[in-house]
Amino acid sequence: MAWTLSQLVEATNGVLTGELLGEDPIRFDSVSTDTRTLKSGALYAALKGANFDGHAFIAEAVKQGAVAVLISEPVETIVPSVLVEDTRIALGEFAAWHRQKMQLKALIGVTGSNGKTTTKALLANILAKQAQVLATAGNLNNDYGLPRTLLELTSSDDYAVIEMGANHHREIHYLTKIARPDVAVITLAAGAHLEGFGSLDGVIETKGEIMDGLKPGGTIVLNTDSPGFEVWCAKAKRLDLKVFSFGESEQANVRLAAFQQNHDRIHFTLRLTCLDGAERSVQTSMPMLGFHNAMNAAAAVAACLAVGLTWEQIQPGLEDFDGVAGRLQKSALPQGVLIDDTYNANPASVKAAIRTLAGLPGESVACLGAMAELGAESQSLHEDVARYAKEKGVASLLVFGVAAQSMPEAFGEGGEYFETQDALIARAIQLLEQNQVQNALVKGSRSTQMEKVSQAIVATV
């Protein structure tokens, strides 16, 4: 893509200063916010964060080949600049402007408390068998990552799959207004009392904001089994949006009707009620573990049907999708499986992983790092997860991290707390080597770096 500075000015209402362009307008072909990765010919956008100010790196950006800069403070520089009030918002405005120019078959937005990246990656895998797809890379789902992603759209893309994440109210509202989805998915709402939202109602409301930016007549894909389903349906009605649903309940358009898991695949039946009212039942499988991944698949299937794909078009990309790194990845152990779900953790995702672990043949150990950002209810939420693990039949619960300290007591026999990660690793290896357990789950919030535990177990056992 190549843009002119006057397009940037038009989109952001900025003020152009510096060398004027006359008949030979200055063009830039990428947008960068980081001089370490800036490519020659880029626009450099100077962002301000809590610990840095991009304006300090303008000379460096120009040296790397930036042809213009987007700024919120007047700065002396030899390249033209566009001055705006807030560069982060200007980046969003420019991305919104660019997205509107693109003639996509559909842009699909994905939000929810869990499963966004997995559902997004699965959707991209399915759609890529049919056409050209741009999807959010990794987890770039915030007010910085989403505009950056949209600016990568080119006229040869047919579909875009865009992840939207939030820590606070109105963030999804902001993102969806930029992305303007044709179809949007809410995977689920979970986790009462999360910091930033106040309550489960707060979470429900925030996820529902994704509808604010849906194109008129667009479709919202909703989980019939999630708290908030009725609230979202009512909002969709007010906004005159179509609802297409997935879940285990009778009313779901894509109903997860049967589920089975063996060592390396999940097998499930989907009952489809297509947009034209036609009904059919399909059996499918994926090289992944976890009931919740069958739910993520149902969400993706619903979104694909909503953009007009047939089951025959959906099936190949569903059945060869083997997941996203760090999310429920499986490695073989001598007598069983290790599930590495170390990317991150909150109560709903830990329970989903425990359910997966407990569904495997054999005895199991759960190695859990503490969950972060749970606010005042942190202790009781940790204890609740511990009781859930016991209830599901997990034999041994090894925990690490101060916030997890009260879990062993809630778990009862087989629960142990460790001061250090190394001590936890040693105990887990002992249990596996003595064949007291055959399967292991390793999971924790990002800050607990539990991937080191799974690496050590796989390397030793």
> Where do contacts with Mg ion occur on this chain (CB under 5 A)?
116-117, 139
Three-state DSSP class for 224?
Answer: coil
* Choice between 129 and 446, CB closer to Mg ion: 446
Helices (H), 181-277: 200-208, 229-238
Binding range to ligand ATP, per CB under 6 A, among 208-216, 343-351, 397-405, 409-417 = 343-351
* Choice between 12 and 344, CB closer to ligand ATP: 344
182 is a site residue for ligand ATP (CB under 6 A): no
* Choice between 124 and 236, CB closer to Mg ion: 124
Q: Please report, for residues 165, 184, 201, the alpha-carbon distance to residue 226 in angstroms, rounded to integers and kept in the order given.
A: 18, 16, 12
Nearest CA to 16 out of 68, 55, 51 is that of 68
**Range 152-181, binding ligand ATP (CB under 6 A):** 165
Between β-strands 183-186 and 106-111, what pairing exists: parallel, antiparallel or unpaired? Answer: parallel
* Choice between 165 and 408, CB closer to Mg ion: 165
Q: According to CB under 6 A, which one of 12, 114, 396, 439 is a site residue for ligand ATP?
A: 114
* Choice between 72 and 125, CB closer to Mg ion: 125
Sketch the per residue contact string, 233 through 272, with ligand ATP: x for CB under 6 A, - otherwise.
----------------------------------------
Minimum Å gap between C-beta 194 and ligand ATP is: 11
Three-state DSSP class for 87?
Answer: helix
Token look-up 């399909």 returns 282
The binder of 352, among Mg ion, ligand ATP, none, by C-beta within 5 to 8 A per type, is ligand ATP
Q: Output phi, psi for 49, to 5 deg.
A: -115, -175
Token look-up 């976890």 returns 290
Sketch the per residue contact string, 138 through 157, with ligand ATP: x for CB under 6 A, - otherwise.
-x-x----------------
295 is a site residue for ligand ATP (CB under 6 A): yes
Q: Output phi, psi for 456, to 5 deg.
A: -65, -40
- Measured CA to CA, the distance from residue 225 to residue 296 in angstroms comes to 13
Three-state DSSP class for 314?
Answer: helix
* Choice between 187 and 396, CB closer to ligand ATP: 187
The angle that helices 171-179 and 87-101 make with each other, rounded to 10 degrees, is: 40
288 is a site residue for ligand ATP (CB under 6 A): no
- DSSP structural state of residue 64: T
Count CB neighbours of 3 within 10 A. Answer: 22
* Choice between 116 and 330, CB closer to Mg ion: 116
329 is a site residue for ligand ATP (CB under 6 A): no
- Measured CA to CA, the distance from residue 94 to residue 40 in angstroms comes to 20
Sketch the per residue contact string, 61 through 80, with ligand ATP: x for CB under 6 A, - otherwise.
--------------------
Sketch the per residue contact string, 408 through 427, with ligand ATP: x for CB under 6 A, - otherwise.
--------------------
The binder of 388, among Mg ion, ligand ATP, none, by C-beta within 5 to 8 A per type, is none
Q: Please report, for residues 58, 113, 398, the alpha-carbon distance to residue 444 in angstroms, rounded to integers and kept in the order given.
A: 39, 16, 11
Q: Are 228 and 384 in contact (CB under 8 A)?
A: no
* Choice between 174 and 343, CB closer to ligand ATP: 343
348 is a site residue for ligand ATP (CB under 6 A): yes
Q: Please report, for residues 42, 219, 298, 381, 392, the alpha-carbon distance to residue 351 in angstroms, rounded to integers and kept in the order given.
A: 45, 30, 19, 11, 10
Residues that bind ligand ATP (CB under 6 A): 112, 114-118, 139, 141, 165, 187-188, 292, 295-296, 327-328, 341, 343-344, 348-349, 352-353
